[in-house]
Amino acid sequence: MATAFADTAADTPIDIVTTLTALLGADAVLTAEDDRRFYGTDVYRAGKIPSAVVLPGNVEQLQAIVRACAETRTPLTVRGGGASYTDGYTHAAPRGITLSTERLNNIVEIDETDATVTVEAGCTWKDLHEALAAKGWRTPFWGPFSGMAATVGGSISQNAISHGTGAYGVSAESLLCVEIVTGTGELLATGSAGNAVADPFFRHFGPDLAGLFTGDCGALGVKARITLKMIRARTAFETASFSFDSFEALHAAMRAIAIENLDDENFGLDAALQQGQIGRQEGVDAKVEIAKSVMKSSGGVVAGMKNLAKMAIAGDRELKAANYVAHYIAEGVDSAEAKARIARLKALAGAHGDEIANTVPTVVRGMPFAPLTNTLGPKGERWVPMHGLFSHSAVTGFHHALMAYWQANRAVMDAHGIFTGAMFMAVGSSGFVYEPTFYWPDAQHAYHARVVPADHLAALPRYAAAPDAAAEVKRMKTDVAELMHAHGAAHLQVGKFYPYLKGRNPASVALLRAVKAALDPHNILNPGALGL
């Protein structure tokens, strides 16, 4: 069951706030109510408002914060870029402290000899990608679409997908070593980094301790520094898009492509999302920025002009007519390899659908990290996604069950103006992400006021608070999570929403609880995450 939250400010525990202020300085401890409300609210909703927000500037301060919270038994959650929608960093109880990693944002070392990069947990994927690209490198997984704000630490804690997922899987699969602050303030290092005289170049030195802290939602430790693999960036690429009449056809095509490991990146959309904020960019300024990005990513003026010309001719008629679409980016060591990969990809997809204009993946390649305008709907509606990661054999059954559920709830949804869309992604060769999204007319909250660009926000309609609609969305989210569980779904960013412990092998649960007790004996680290 989802944890119940209330949007109420907590009484401030003076002793812990005074202690933290003495440790960090007043400029690194935020106690104003508007700050506390913002940092205590994720994309979806507010939790219990924290008593203070702390902004450590180095790992030593990070350790000191955890020690102070441990000594006073004060709950501590960690916020990275703030893109969670599963109560990932919100508080389930009052009198907590929120730790923001925004000042822990340094790229510590780019080691071109060992092909590794070490960053502090608050480094954004955009900053990392740009720094590596300038030297001709990238990480295998190189960030979610929200990478303008999303941090490396957050993506390791929650697990993430998007850029590079087609070829290299989830964020955790690019991890080598990690330094963790435990719930008692100790600094723990994993893999080869656990040897004081070794470099952080190898993950699987004995038991995979790094794996404990991937997808742990910060419940087992606080990320301090993270070392990722680097590979040479490939500038040669091709893009392709396809339309499909049915989900079954979309899935068959995406599976066929996935098992041949042809693409670097893929994503599918249903009609609602394709025609909504993902598939459409409005306004002159947006179009100019897209044009600049496409030119930059195309590898030359001639290639860039060709891509822009194709986009202008294509328009969006095919996109609007499609029930489902899939978009692909394939890379190569040179143009010949990229073209060969996309040709094979087109042959596989063509057995199930039709090729359409490749506008969307061309834009994504040129502008991989966009402002977080999609945290509201195309007409200013509230937005919240959820997702399940399914086996290929299970996902079609889930799709049909979900369609039946939407139909059973159609009258309620129509009465409250609630509508849905869906996004899809093949993860490696064996997994398939199905991400339903909810939209409903409702008031914006503290997150939107600071995160959505002001010019975009000003152009959107605003709605009065709609508690009845919000209650129906909450109910349906819980129902859909249960439906996902019944079809064997796994989840990224489990947070405090997905039923991680439900039906889990008792020995596995016992081991997890023992690890939690060893690393966080006072249960101060994100209480409630993972169901712990």
Quote the percentage of the chain above a pLDDT of 90.
85
Q: 454 and 408 in one domain?
A: yes
495 lies in some domain: no
Q: 126 and 35 in one domain?
A: no
How far is Cα 331 from Cα 282, in angstroms, rounded to an integer? 29
Instruction: Please choose, from the candidates 522, 526, 519, the residue with its C-alpha nearest in 3D space to the C-alpha of residue 495.
Output: 526
Q: 412 and 342 in one domain?
A: no
How far is Cα 291 from Cα 309, in angstroms, rounded to an integer? 10
Token pair in block for residue 179: 């330094």
pLDDT at 283: 44
Q: What are the pLDDT digits (tens) for 108-152?
A: 999 999 999 999 999 999 999 999 999 999 999 999 999 999 999
263 lies in some domain: yes
403 lies in some domain: yes
Residue 96 phi, psi (nearest 5): -95, 170
For the chain, the maximum distance between any two Cα atoms, rounded to a whole number of angstroms, is 66
Mean pLDDT of 429-439: 97
Rounded to the nearest 10 degrees, the angle between the axes of helix 359-366 and helix 284-297 is: 80
285 lies in some domain: yes
Q: What are the pLDDT digits (tens) for 344-374?
A: 999 999 999 999 999 889 989 999 998 899 8
Q: Are 429 and 261 in contact (CB under 8 A)?
A: yes
Question: Which CATH number goes with the domain that contains 330?
Answer: 3.30.70.3450
Q: 255 and 223 in one domain?
A: no
pLDDT at 13: 53
- Looking at 311, 339, 366, which one is the last position of a domain? 366
Q: 304 and 226 in one domain?
A: no
409 lies in some domain: yes
Q: Are 386 and 435 in contact (CB under 8 A)?
A: yes
**How many domains, in total, are found in the chain?**
4
Is the pLDDT assigned to residue 456 strictly greater than 50? yes
pLDDT at 8: 36
70 lies in some domain: yes
Q: Which domain holds residue 62?
A: 14-102+520-531
How far is Cα 361 from Cα 326, in angstroms, rounded to an integer? 9
- Looking at 337, 366, 395, which one is the last position of a domain? 366
- On the 0-12 / 13-18 / 19+ scale of CB atoms within 10 A, 115 is middle
How far is Cα 477 from Cα 436, in angstroms, rounded to an integer? 9
More confident residue, 389 or 10: 389
Question: Which CATH number goes with the domain that contains 173?
Answer: 3.30.465.10
Mean pLDDT of 82-100: 95
Q: Across the chain, what does the average pLDDT equal? A: 91
- Looking at 341, 366, 391, which one is the last position of a domain? 366
C-alpha to C-alpha distances, 121 to 155, 179, 188, 221, 292, nearest whole angstrom: 9, 10, 14, 12, 30
pLDDT at 14: 59
Q: 115 and 65 in one domain?
A: no
Is the pLDDT assigned to residue 68 strictly greater than 80? yes
pLDDT at 317: 60
- On the 0-12 / 13-18 / 19+ scale of CB atoms within 10 A, 217 is buried
The upper half-sphere exposure of residue 381, i.e. CA atoms within 13 Å in the direction of its Cβ, equals 21
Q: What are the pLDDT digits (tens) for 220-274?
A: 999 999 999 999 999 999 999 999 999 999 999 999 999 999 999 999 999 988 8
pLDDT at 274: 80
14: left (phi over 0), alpha (psi -120 to 50) or beta: alpha
485: Cα separation from own chain's centroid: 20
Mean pLDDT of 380-404: 98
Beta-carbon count within 10 A of 373 CB: 17
Quote the percentage of the chain above a pLDDT of 70.
89
Q: 354 and 425 in one domain?
A: no
Is the pLDDT assigned to residue 3 strictly greater than 70? no
Q: 151 and 70 in one domain?
A: no
In this prediction, residue 279 has a pLDDT band, given cuts at 50, 70 and 90, of: very low
Token pair in block for residue 311: 């986009």
Q: 205 and 94 in one domain?
A: no
Beta bridge partners of 78: 99
88 lies in some domain: yes
Q: 422 and 395 in one domain?
A: yes
More confident residue, 166 or 6: 166
Whole-structure pTM value: 0.91
Q: What are the pLDDT digits (tens) for 287-343?
A: 445 444 443 544 544 454 454 445 444 545 666 678 999 999 999 999 999 999 999
509 lies in some domain: no
Q: 199 and 94 in one domain?
A: no
Q: 63 and 88 in one domain?
A: yes
Beta bridge partners of 267: 327
Rounded to the nearest 10 degrees, the angle between the axes of helix 392-408 and helix 247-258 is: 160
pLDDT at 519: 98
